[in-house]
Structure 1
Amino acid sequence: MAAGTATPVGIGVVGIEHLHVFELVDGLVAAGCTPVAHASASDSLADLYGTWQASSEPVGAEAVLSDPRVDVVVLAGVPADRADVAVAALEAGKDVLSAKPGVTTAAQLARVRGAATASGRRWWVLFSERYANPAVLRAVELARTGAIGRVVHVEASAPHRLSPDERPAWFFDRERAGGIVVDLGTHQVDHFLAATGADAADVQVVASAAGSTRDWGDDPARAGFEDVGELVLAAPGVRGHHRIDFLEPDGFPTWGDTRLVITGTDGRLEVRIAVGDDGQHEPAAVWITDHRGVHRDDEVPEATWARDLLADRADGGERFMARDHAFDVTALALQAAAAASGWGTA
């Protein structure tokens, strides 16, 4: 429920094209929201969603946006289509929570920003590799409170499992999906801004790259699909090196072996996924290396993004994220994608 009220916040979903929709809605429902209606062109996922949230009515997109019971519109459609729906939702007086990437072009981002400014409503993008990962939240908290001195470097790698036969056709179309830097790169920009506290206006894209390492043979629909990418970011006194890919081997027990290393003048923070002797993954943990030695930090916070979102919606606060954060992250990712050289280019 919204903070300070007894009225449940209604959720309307437009676009059920990616499994991220289940993460977004699950968080909001756990925080007290009520699923009201959903619209999707993907029958298989829409059926699964409808079974999961039986109180949600299957309707058209316009019906979702015009429903007075819907307060927050959740977007998980084809990435290139999300901006149009976001603008329509904002103009209808709804707040918007989008899966990443929230948009795929700079022109789309400008339209969403204009609609958010004019309406006064909120446009959030859930960068789940931080907001839904307690270990990353803790590492950022430690970095920002001076546990390792002044942060001078951020290094992150984010290999993802591709599982190509389980992906929809749009996923391999750069125009529809946005490309690897616009997609996975948003997590990396979010990590850099959060860990360093840098003002987005002071961040420079030093270098970026994207490309394809696979030979898809006689499958022209997937030819040229970007499965590797890189971003090098810099702000006053700090740099970031970030690698993203879809090369995680199928043998790893979860979707990707993501790593984050934050280096400061007095120590280092590392977030990594542990794999036990049985080959199964364990929750990500924070390791601190400082002048006392190497130790594991077990003060892992609860992921509160959904409750924070509802509290911000109620009073205009910025607990979940600053009003401009999703715009800043997306703008830098788009800038990096536009400047990207080919992978392996000398």
Structure 2
Amino acid sequence: MTIRFAAIGLDHRHIYHMVGECLAAGAVCAGYCPETSDPRVLEGFRERFPDLPVRSREALFDDPDVQVILCAAIPVDRPAIAIRAMQAGKDVMLDKPGAIALAQVDALERVAAETGRILSVCFSERFVVRACEVAAKLVADGAIGRVIQTTGLGPHRLNRAIRPEWFFRPEAFGGILTDIASHQIDQFLFFTRATSAQIIAAQTANRTLPEVPAFQDYGDVLLDSGAARGFIRVDWFTADGLPTWGDGRLFLTGTAGSIELRKYIDVAGRPGTDHLFLTDHKGTRHIDASAEPLTYFTRFLADVRDRSATAMPPGHALMVTRLAIQAQQIADGNAPRRA
């Protein structure tokens, strides 16, 4: 059975790989709604997918042949779109973060349970990184024993001139930990096989943009699952000299070895992306993971067809989102933010 999907919420460029990978996995796009807060995102979408039909948002929600909604709207708007889609009988793939407030997470959890629909969040720093696919296989095979600690680094280039105005408003995007650190929280839970965790400490700072005092350009988090610990650092300090948007890295410490992922670049080293370094009882070696197939999108579509959960365990997406929001609240010193 061919899965038909639609794209609603063209506000972040992550919609490009969400749509592109679903098409590559064999799904058919029934159309997209052109509503956007950033005309440059829409322009880029049309350049990449010139043949996809334009349809109204409500027409896509109401089309009984559309089985999945993909959404990369302004983060604060994503939960309402997901809820509308699930209540219309459709499964959902959201860009991260899936929500920016705990009340939104509660609502998503409730509606997903009521409707029986699949609610997934595309954590692209794992699902669109081929080195993560290889690392997942190695960890599953016991190559480094049991993972007891992760260190996730998520530096990004600010590219201030091309960012939409909502990008600098925490009430719209949730803050640096809610947003970027959700990637690293996802990786911590996945690689340590934890289903939940506690935020031990979290902090944020604005080091370079005093004229935008509510914006945060640095954040870190310490979390603990009882059986493993994780440290996360995210920032907007990638220098212009780096030939990619960020030197994202992931370190996995196991009871019998370690893995380092240099996801997007091996600085002043090997060319290309998706470098994996394995240390075990046999020695050390570099693995070129750049040709490893991506599996999330194929599995997600299979889950839609088979009503299974191979792409992401039930509840994982919302647990990651909840922890990211809690970390943000601790860093902000706020009571739980409700929306």
Pair in the same fold by TM > 0.5: yes
Say if 2:94 is the partner of 1:103: no
What residue is the counterpart of 2:331 in the other structure? 340
Distance 1:167 1:57 in 2: 27
From 12, 16, 19, give the equivalent of 1:22: 16
What residue is the counterpart of 2:322 in the other structure? 331
What residue is the counterpart of 2:171 in the other structure? 175
Say if 2:30 is the partner of 1:36: yes
State how 1:10-89 maps to structure 2 within 5 Å: 10-39=4-33, 40-42=35-37, 43-89=39-85
Distance 2:51 2:100 in 1: 32
Distance 1:126 1:276 in 2: 27
Q: Which amino acid aligns with 2:116?
A: G
| Aligned-residue offset at 1:224 | 2.8
What residue is the counterpart of 1:251 in the other structure? 241
User: Residue 234 of structure 2 aligns to a residue in which SS?
Assistant: strand
Distance 2:75 2:332 in 1: 23
What residue is the counterpart of 1:313 in the other structure? 304
Distance 1:68 1:78 in 2: 26
Say if 2:182 is the partner of 1:186: yes
Please say if residues 276 and 282 of structure 1, whose CA atoms lie closer than 8 Å, have aligned partners that are also in contact.
no
Gaps of 5+ in 1: none
What residue is the counterpart of 2:201 in the other structure? 207
Please say if residues 253 and 281 of structure 1, whose CA atoms lie closer than 8 Å, have aligned partners that are also in contact.
no
What residue is the counterpart of 2:293 in the other structure? 302
Distance 2:267 2:152 in 1: 22
Q: In structure 2, do the counterparts of structure 1 residues 292 and 70 end up closer, same or farther at CA, with 3 Å as the change threshold?
A: same
| Aligned-residue offset at 1:341 | 5.1
Say if 2:263 is the partner of 1:267: no
Distance 1:88 1:331 in 2: 20
Q: Which amino acid aligns with 2:154?
A: A
Please say if residues 143 and 262 of structure 1, whose CA atoms lie closer than 8 Å, have aligned partners that are also in contact.
no
Distance 1:226 1:146 in 2: 38
Please say if residues 98 and 124 of structure 1, whose CA atoms lie closer than 8 Å, have aligned partners that are also in contact.
yes
User: Residue 143 of structure 2 aligns to a residue in which SS?
Assistant: coil
Q: Which amino acid aligns with 2:174?
A: G
| Aligned-residue offset at 1:137 | 2.2
Please say if residues 209 and 215 of structure 2, whose CA atoms lie closer than 8 Å, have aligned partners that are also in contact.
no
Distance 1:15 1:193 in 2: 28
Q: In structure 2, do the counterparts of structure 1 residues 276 and 257 end up closer, same or farther at CA, with 3 Å as the change threshold?
A: closer
What residue is the counterpart of 1:112 in the other structure? 108
What residue is the counterpart of 1:162 in the other structure? 158
What residue is the counterpart of 2:337 in the other structure? none
Distance 1:51 1:167 in 2: 19
Say if 2:142 is the partner of 1:151: no
Share of identical aligned residues, percent? 35
User: Residue 230 of structure 1 aligns to a residue in which SS?
Assistant: strand
TM-score by length of 2: 0.91
Q: Which amino acid aligns with 2:13?
A: L
Aligned residues: 329
| Aligned-residue offset at 1:57 | 2.9
Single out whichever of 52-61 and 83-92 deviates more from structure 2.
Answer: 52-61
| Aligned-residue offset at 1:287 | 0.7
Single out whichever of 72-81 and 28-37 deviates more from structure 2.
Answer: 28-37
Distance 2:288 2:209 in 1: 43
Q: Which amino acid aligns with 2:255?
A: T
Distance 2:214 2:220 in 1: 16
User: Residue 35 of structure 1 aligns to a residue in which SS?
Assistant: strand
Aligned-residue Cα RMSD (Å) equals: 1.9
Q: In structure 2, do the counterparts of structure 1 residues 274 and 51 end up closer, same or farther at CA, with 3 Å as the change threshold?
A: closer
Distance 2:266 2:134 in 1: 20
Q: In structure 2, do the counterparts of structure 1 residues 61 and 287 end up closer, same or farther at CA, with 3 Å as the change threshold?
A: same
1:62-103 Cα deviation digits (max 9, x unpaired): 222112232111101110001111100000001111111111
Gaps of 5+ in 2: 334-339
Q: In structure 2, do the counterparts of structure 1 residues 317 and 178 end up closer, same or farther at CA, with 3 Å as the change threshold?
A: same
User: Residue 278 of structure 2 aligns to a residue in which SS?
Assistant: strand
Q: In structure 2, do the counterparts of structure 1 residues 291 and 187 end up closer, same or farther at CA, with 3 Å as the change threshold?
A: same
Q: In structure 2, do the counterparts of structure 1 residues 196 and 283 end up closer, same or farther at CA, with 3 Å as the change threshold?
A: same
Single out whichever of 160-169 and 64-73 deviates more from structure 2.
Answer: 64-73
Q: Which amino acid aligns with 1:136?
A: C
State how 1:125-140 maps to structure 2 within 5 Å: 125-140=121-136
User: Residue 327 of structure 2 aligns to a residue in which SS?
Assistant: helix
User: Residue 199 of structure 2 aligns to a residue in which SS?
Assistant: strand
| Aligned-residue offset at 1:180 | 0.6
